[in-house]
C-alpha cells in the first residue's frame, strides 16, 4: 500500500487540507489492489460530514421560514451553526435580514442577535444550497379541494435545489406528509435534478416537526425528535445533527416509520377531539355541561386523559394530517372509516356553533335574515395566545354567518388584519374592530380564549355571549350560552 494512503474508515481528519475526500481517495487509487469497497468510501464521506456537524462547521439551510422553519433557525443559531434561511417570499427575507420577526412568540431580539453575529442570513436564491452541508425542508403540505395531499410545495422545492446539490450533503424533510413521501416523491426529484444517488452521493432523512406554538412547557429543543432514514449513514448524520441542540432523539427504522409516527400522533388527537365534540352535542341536549363532565372524569388517575371540545379544528396538523393517511390507505384498498367519521364530526362543528348562535338570537326575538344583525367574533387564531390563524374555524363560522345575512366583525389581540387566505379570499384585508364598541353588537362569540381578554367585562358589556371555549366558566350570567 503506498505511503500516505488512509483507509476511508479512519479519515476523520482527512478534510483539513480543504480537498474533498473523494479527491484524496482517488489520488491513491492507482496501483491499489484490491480497491476499497464503495461502502467504505460512503462511510468516509459520512465521517467527514459527522466531523463538520460535531465541530459546528456544517452550514445549515432552512427552507420555509414559517412556524416550523423559524424556530429551527433560532435553535441551530444558538447552538453555534451558521444558518441560511431560504424562502420564496422576498418580504419575509427582507424582514429577517433586518432582524425582525413576524411570528409573535419568536422575539425580534433573538433574530437580531443572530443577524448581527453573522450567524444567520436569509435569501430567495436557492442556488445558495450548493454552499451548505445540511438542508432542512419545512414547506407547507396542504390538502387540495378534494381533500387529497398537495405535494406541490415539496416537489417545487426539490426541483429548485436539485441542480445545486453536491456530494456529501444531507437533506432532511420536516413537512408533515403521508408514509412514502420521502422515498417516492422527494428522493426521485432530487436524484433526477442532480444526477446524484441518494444515500450514496448525498444523505436523506425524514424528521417530522412537532411544533406547538407558544407552548410554555415545551420548546423545539425539549420536544423529543423522531428521525427516520433508509440508510445507517443517513441516520447517523441526521441523529448527530439534531442532538446538537435537541435533548433527546427517537430514531426509527425508516423514513416511512417516521412519517407514520407523525400521522398517528395527530390522528389520535383528531379522533379523541371528535369524541368529545360528539359528546358535547349529546350532553347539551340532555342539559349536561360537557366541561363539568370532563373535569370530573380527569380525576381518574389511570386509563383516561382529557380532550376538550371546540368550535372546530385549527392549525396545520389536526384538520389536515388524518386525511393524508385516508388518501394513502385507498392505494391498499383500505377504507379508514374511523378516521373519516372523526373528520366529519369535527368539520361539522362550525355549523353546530352557528346554529347555536341563530337559536340564541331567535330566543331574543332577533332574526338574522331580513334584519341588521351585528355579530362580533372574539379570537381568530386557532388557539389561545398566538397569532397563528392557519385553518382556524373562525373563518368558516364567519362565512356561514355572512351567508345567513348577518354583519360580522372580529377582534383578536394578535391579528390586526386578515392576510391572504387561499380558501377565504373574500376576507383578505379585513381589519379587527375595537372592543370599545362591543355593546353595539347583538351577540358576541368567543371562538379563541385568549388570556388577554377580560371576560367579566366582555359579558357585562355584551347583549349575548356564545362561549365555545368555556372561557366564562367562572362567570354567572344568563347572557352566556355554551356551544
Give the active site residues: 317
Cell numbers 447552538: residue:
79
C-alpha cell at 166: 453536491
Where is 181: in which H helix or E strand?
A: helix 181-181
Q: What value, to the nearest 5°, has the Cα angle with vertex 270 and ends 264 and 272?
A: 100
- Which DSSP letter does residue 442 get? S
Say whether the peptide bond before residue 34 is cis (omega within 30 degrees of 0).
yes
- How many angstroms separate the first and last alpha carbons of the chain? 79
Give CA–CA dist 218/194, Å, rounded: 38
C-alpha cell at 18: 480543504
Strand, coil or helix: 85: strand
Give CA–CA dist 186/229, Å, rounded: 13
* CA 30 to chain centroid: 51
Residue 391 C-beta-side C-alpha neighbours within 13 Å: 16
The angle that helices 108-116 and 69-78 make with each other, rounded to 10 degrees, is 50
Give CA–CA dist 326/264, Å, rounded: 12
Q: How far is CA 411 from CA 268, 379, 389, 430, in A?
A: 32, 6, 13, 11
Amino acid at each position: 500500500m503506498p505511503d500516505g494512503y488512509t483507509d476511508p474508515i479512519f479519515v476523520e481528519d482527512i478534510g483539513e487540507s480543504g480537498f474533498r475526500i473523494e479527491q484524496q481517495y482517488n489520488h491513491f487509487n492507482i496501483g491499489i489492489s484490491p480497491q476499497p469497497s464503495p461502502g467504505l468510501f460512503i462511510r468516509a464521506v459520512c465521517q467527514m460530514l459527522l466531523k463538520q456537524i460535531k465541530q459546528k462547521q456544517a452550514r445549515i439551510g432552512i427552507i420555509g421560514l414559517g412556524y416550523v422553519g423559524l424556530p429551527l433557525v433560532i435553535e441551530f443559531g444558538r447552538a453555534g451553526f451558521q444558518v441560511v434561511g431560504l424562502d420564496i417570499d422576498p418580504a419575509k427575507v427582507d424582514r429577517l435580514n433586518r432582524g425582525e420577526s413576524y411570528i409573535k412568540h419568536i422575539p425580534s431580539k433573538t433574530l437580531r442577535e443572530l443577524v448581527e453575529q453573522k450567524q444567520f442570513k436569509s435569501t430567495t436564491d436557492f442556488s445558495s444550497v450548493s454552499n451548505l452541508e445540511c438542508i432542512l425542508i419545512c414547506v407547507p403540505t396542504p390538502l387540495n379541494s378534494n381533500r387529497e395531499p398537495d405535494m406541490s410545495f415539496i416537489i417545487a422545492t426539490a426541483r429548485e435545489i436539485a441542480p445545486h446539490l453536491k456530494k456529501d450533503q444531507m437533506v432532511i424533510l420536516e413537512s408533515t406528509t403521508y408514509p412514502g413521501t420521502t422515498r417516492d416523491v422527494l428522493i426521485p426529484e432530487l436524484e433526477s435534478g442532480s444526477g446524484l444517488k441518494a444515500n450514496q452521493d448525498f444523505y436523506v432523512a425524514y424528521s417530522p416537526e412537532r411544533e406547538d406554538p407558544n407552548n410554555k412547557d415545551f420548546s423545539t429543543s425539549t420536544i423529543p425528535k423522531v428521525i427516520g432514514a433508509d440508510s445507517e449513514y443517513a441516520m447517523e448524520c441526521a441523529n448527530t445533527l439534531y442532538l446538537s441542540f435537541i435533548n433527546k432523539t427517537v430514531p426509527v427504522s425508516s423514513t416511512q416509520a417516521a412519517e407514520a409516527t407523525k400521522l398517528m400522533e395527530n390522528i389520535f388527537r383528531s379522533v379523541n377531539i371528535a369524541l368529545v365534540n360528539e359528546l358535547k352535542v349529546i350532553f347539551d341536549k340532555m342539559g349536561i355541561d360537557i366541561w363539568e363532565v370532563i373535569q370530573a372524569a380527569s380525576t381518574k388517575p389511570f386509563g383516561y386523559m382529557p380532550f376538550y371540545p371546540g368550535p372546530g379544528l385549527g392549525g396545520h396538523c389536526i384538520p389536515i394530517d388524518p386525511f393524508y393517511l385516508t388518501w394513502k390507505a385507498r392505494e391498499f384498498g383500505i377504507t379508514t372509516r374511523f378516521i373519516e367519521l372523526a373528520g366529519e364530526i369535527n368539520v361539522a362543528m362550525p355549523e353546530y356553533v352557528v346554529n347555536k348562535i341563530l337559536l340564541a338570537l331567535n330566543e331574543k326575538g332577533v332574526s338574522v335574515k331580513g334584519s341588521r344583525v351585528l355579530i362580533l367574533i372574539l379570537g381568530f387564531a386557532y388557539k389561545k395566545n398566538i397569532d397563528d390563524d392557519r385553518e382556524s374555524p373562525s373563518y368558516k363560522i364567519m362565512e356561514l354567518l355572512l351567508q345567513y345575512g348577518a354583519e360580522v366583525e372580529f377582534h383578536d389581540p394578535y391579528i390586526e388584519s386578515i392576510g391572504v387566505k387561499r380558501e377565504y379570499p373574500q376576507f383578505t384585508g379585513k381589519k379587527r374592530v375595537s372592543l370599545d364598541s362591543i355593546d353595539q353588537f347583538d351577540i358576541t362569540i368567543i371562538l379563541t380564549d385568549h388570556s388577554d381578554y377580560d371576560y367579566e367585562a366582555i359579558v357585562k358589556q355584551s347583549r349575548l355571549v356564545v362561549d365555545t371555549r368555556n372561557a366564562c366558566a367562572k362567570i354567572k350570567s344568563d347572557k352566556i350560552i355554551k356551544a
